[in-house]
């Protein structure tokens, strides 16, 4: 068993372990420690069943069933099937999950602190996932911006990203936004938070999930979003996870910006996703 850092900014990998090894508390603790210290940790080629994935998630915290029942794994409510594949003319899961830079569910008051993905059927040439550390983004923020955002909060919203579905047929765009607003009212979070485990300050908020910084005018806001967009996406600081079959990836939702990339046409990609509440690390 060995650990290696994936990039200087984010990510670590545990190698030489299988599902059986992970049952040993000291091995599992080692893996979880990597998640806590490096925001994100990977085990490649971990052959596990959906039930075993949930078992692993339950060692981290409390796996929670996905909100929308129709995208839950038919036998395991805790697993959400994230997939572009079709079976008998029906989607097997949710397509295009997270294909923009974000921190998971930051538009919610109390997002689950961990996300776990298992690569069930993954192409090697597309459908990679990009990751960046929110602590590293904060570190790289020019001092002038650190001063401007000190003590401020931001309004987070899902309205920029909510897609129109069958439930919304017949609504105008304004009516649709209003409905989403009622369902997910904007929530306010501090812009700078401290990771209780590493002690590092990190930036909380991605432009696609933020309405605005409280107290900023439209210009300051646009400028700030442009500055952080550049920092988040800076290729020098991004870890690209190129999936191989059965990869397990776990990250801390608050300190990990990430984006799923396009899948080439005609290619299926399926990952099993578990959202985990509670656990040792709380944002
Ligand atoms: O499937 C992926 O590459 C990641 C999608 C995502 O943002 C998520 O599962 O939270
Ligand atoms: Fe995500």
Q: Tens of pLDDT along 163-199? A: 666 566 677 777 777 777 788 889 999 999 999 999 9
Q: What is the pLDDT of residue 283?
A: 60
Name the token pair of 154: 């931001």
Which residue of 115, 117, 119, 161 sits with most ligand 1 atoms within 8 Å of its CB, as the best mutation to test the pocket?
117
- Count the alpha carbons within 13 Å of 218 in the hemisphere toward its beta carbon: 0
β pairing state of 192-194 and 86-87: unpaired
Which of ligand 1's atoms lies nearest the C-alpha of 260? 3
Q: Which residue has the tokens 């692993």?
A: 56
- Count the alpha carbons within 13 Å of 79 in the hemisphere toward its beta carbon: 24
Intervals of the chain under pLDDT 50: none
Q: How far apart are CA 124 and CA 139, in angstroms?
A: 32
122 lines ligand 1 (CB under 6 A): no
Q: What is the pLDDT of residue 31?
A: 98
A 10 A CB-CB count for 220 gives 15
Domain annotation for the chain: domains and CATH numbers: 2-91+114-124+241-254+263-277 (3.60.130.10)
β pairing state of 270-277 and 80-83: antiparallel
DSSP state, residue 212: E
115 lines ligand 1 (CB under 6 A): yes
Q: How far apart are CA 74 and CA 59, in angstroms?
A: 22
Q: What is the pLDDT of residue 217?
A: 98
Q: How far is CA 279 from CA 115, 131, 164, 193, 195, in A?
A: 12, 22, 34, 18, 14
| Residues 230, 142 contacting (CB under 8 angstroms) | no
Ligand nearest to the CA of 261: 1
91 lines ligand 1 (CB under 6 A): no
């Amino acid at each position: 068993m060995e650990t290696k850092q994936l990039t200087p900014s984010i990510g670590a990998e545990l190698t030489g372990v299988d599902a059986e090894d992970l049952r040993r508390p000291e091995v599992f603790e080692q893996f979880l420690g990597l998640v806590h210290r490096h925001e994100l940790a990977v085990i490649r080629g971990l052959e596990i069943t959906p039930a075993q994935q949930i078992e692993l998630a339950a060692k981290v915290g409390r796996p929670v069933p996905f909100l929308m029942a129709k995208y839950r794994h038919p036998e395991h409510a805790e697993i959400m099937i994230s997939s572009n594949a079709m079976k008998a003319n029906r989607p097997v899961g949710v397509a295009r999950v997270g294909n923009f830079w974000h921190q998971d569910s930051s538009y919610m008051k109390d997002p689950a602190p961990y996300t776990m993905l298992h690569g069930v059927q993954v192409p090697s040439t597309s459908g990679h996932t990009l990751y960046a550390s929110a602590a590293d983004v904060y570190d790289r923020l020019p001092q002038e911006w650190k001063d401007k955002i000190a003590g401020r909060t931001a309004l987070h919203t899902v309205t920029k990203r909510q897609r129109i579905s069958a439930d919304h047929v017949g609504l105008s765009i304004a009516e649709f936004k209003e409905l989403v607003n009622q369902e997910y009212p904007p929530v306010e979070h501090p812009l700078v938070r401290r990771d209780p485990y590493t002690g590092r300050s990190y930036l909380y908020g991605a432009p696609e999930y933020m309405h605005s910084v409280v107290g900023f005018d439209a210009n300051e806001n646009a400028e700030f979003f442009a500055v952080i967009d550049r920092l988040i996406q800076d290729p020098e600081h991004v870890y690209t996870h190129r999936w191989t079959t059965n990869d397990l990836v776990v990250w801390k939702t608050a300190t990990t910006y990430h984006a799923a990339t396009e899948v080439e046409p005609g290619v299926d990609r399926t990952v099993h996703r578990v959202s985990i509440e509670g656990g040792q690390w709380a944002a």
